[in-house]
Amino acid sequence: MIIIEIFRRLLQRLRELQQRQHSRRELATLDRDALKDIGVNRVDALLEANKPFWRS
């Protein structure tokens, strides 16, 4: 049971990292108006988009 729980948590963490990377790639593609709508400027968007997937 413990091994199953460890494996489940590992898979969950990997999914979170994958989703984070996907979100950052999407952020990098937003135009100025879309960034303005979410309250982010281009510089901050690119800084976030270029973070490694393991960084929060």
Taking a C-beta distance cutoff of 8 angstroms, is the pair 25, 48 a contact? no
Residue 37 neighbours by CB under 8 Å, 6+ apart:
none
Structure letter (DSSP) for residue 48:
H
If DSSP codes are grouped into helix, strand and coil, which group holds residue 50? coil
Structure tokens belonging to residue 46: 């690119």
Structure letter (DSSP) for residue 39:
T
How high is the pLDDT of residue 1? 81
**Domain ranges, ordered by start, for the chain:** 2-49
How high is the pLDDT of residue 37? 98
How high is the pLDDT of residue 56? 84
Predicted TM-score of the model (pTM): 0.79
Per-residue model confidence as pLDDT tens for the chain (56 residues): 899 999 999 999 999 999 999 999 999 999 999 999 999 999 999 999 999 988 88
